[in-house]
Amino acid sequence: MKTLECNLLILGAGPGGYVAAIRAGQLGLDTIIVDGQAPGGTCLNVGCIPSKALIHAADEFEKATHNVGGNILGIKAGKPSLDLGKTIKWKDGIVDRLNKGVAGLLKKNKVKLLVGWGTMTDGKTCVVETKDGPVKVTAKNVILATGSEPVEIPSLPFGDKVICSTEALSLETVPKKLVVIGGGYIGLELGTAYAKMGADVTVVEALDTILSLYDAELTKPVTLSLKKLGVTILLGTKAKGLSQAGEGLVVEMPDGSEQTLAADKILVTVGRRAKTEGFGLEGLDLTMAGRFVAIGDRCQTSMTGVYAIGDLTGEPMLAHRAMAQGEMVAEIIAGENRTFDKVCIPAVCFTDPEIVTAGLSPDEAAALGYETKIGIFPFAANGRAMTMEAEQGFVRVVAREDNHLVLGIQAVGKGVSELSATFALALEMGACLEDIAGTVHAHPTQSEGFQEAALKALGHALHI
């Protein structure tokens, strides 16, 4: 067996792993990164990037449909058609370009990429099954960045009609009837996209609300949009399994009765779990936190020289969290003094309209004992939003009542994902309401809603 030695071995080339590798290479660390697929992980290959491409295509198709026969803008167009196979090919082209870009960055920084399935045999050794045979890698330091995988429902194993988000991003035709199990962000992002492309979509959610991680104020505009698209939402409803004839999904309604929902495809999006199997984790002496690998504020595990980052370490399962952790760990291994002490990790839900959260919600702040001042500014009073037909939604600022320190910022509306960096920066810099209110915001932009929300919390909003 061929043997390689290095300073740093990274298992998993997703956002956290490849960023760690690039930074390690920049710092002069002899680094090997291992993955069984193209670099980029779930996010780049079958998650964040391809789903946003599909969402954009769906938005463009809906926009064209909106113009059939004329509209309030005076635009009139003929009936559009959609070649989903061509859309998927375009999406795949974006993924391929990014794959090559990541591979190029790894090469540029003298990182060796081993393509193959890696299995840890101890805390310093990994055996990689490559196309040319097994390769043994020994390292002084190891970063585990294996990511996560979709949760499967035992009564609805993936295959044929039952699909996960990966298959949903590679369909050749739009299903006439799509049933989505799970009313979280993945299910609603993809369900909304397919509804815009013409599918008859039904969402089955066991809880009594969709997007349960968000409060009712933030989810109300999304619910209204789904209803406008014709999406049926069944709350308090449990998925049981395929019908006997296999033509649809059997569900248990809130009253206990059973009903069969006709479906060409059944998309299961009930969550993701840390990928803890198949790479030798059971042979490592690591302290676990439930299903996750337990880490400290330097991403150090219970084994010396072994670090873990990203989804493997728990919530929030977000690519940008993994990236920040990966960069930090590379610098720690290189001798720098770093800890993970972020004030907030912003999260974006790419539904229609989009939702952004950063820091504490009003309920979370209250639960921690804070007396708060809250300012909400609706996009219905924002000139830029009006000109974009994007009046649904608002910006909300949560601050301490005593010193006006901003604790959290949330927004729901068209394109608000691009405000996420502004919100996170304000929190990281320790901004007070007066800092935001006193910052000149360009006009006309949706970002003015942020300033106005701060002004509202201070008691003197100017445009409402």
| Secondary structure (DSSP) of 154-217 | TTB-SBTTEE-HHHHTS-SS--SEEEEE--SHHHHHHHHHHHHTT-EEEEEESSSSSSTTS-HH
Long-range contacts of 42-46 (CB under 8 A, 24+ apart): 42/14, 42/147, 42/148, 42/149, 43/14, 43/15, 43/319, 44/14, 44/15, 44/95, 44/98, 44/99, 44/102, 45/95, 45/99, 46/165, 46/166, 46/169
CA 148 – CA 128 distance, rounded (Å): 20
Instruction: Choose among 224, 232, 149, 154: nearest CA to 191.
Output: 232
Strand-pairing partners, residue 153, are 156
- Maximum pairwise Cα distance, the chain: 72
CA 331 – CA 20 distance, rounded (Å): 9
CB of 440 closer than 8 Å to CB of 357: no
In the numeric block, the tokens 């992002």 are attached to 189
Instruction: Choose among 196, 205, 257, 259: nearest CA to 230.
Output: 196
Q: Which two tokens stand for residue 286?
A: 């690591």
Helix 15-26, helix 84-108: angle, nearest 10: 30
Instruction: Choose among 390, 439, 433, 382: nearest CA to 413.
Output: 390
| Secondary structure (DSSP) of 84-117 | HHHHHHHHHHHHHHHHHHHHHHHHHTTPEEEESE
- The question of whether 56 is a catalytic residue gets the answer no
Pick the catalytic residue from 441, 443, 460, 463. 443
CB of 194 closer than 8 Å to CB of 178: yes
Q: Please give the helix or strand (H or E) that residue 41 lies within, else none.
A: helix 41-46
| C-alpha of 92 from chain center | 19
DSSP three-state, residue 144: strand
Q: Looking at the annotation, which residues are catalytic?
A: 443
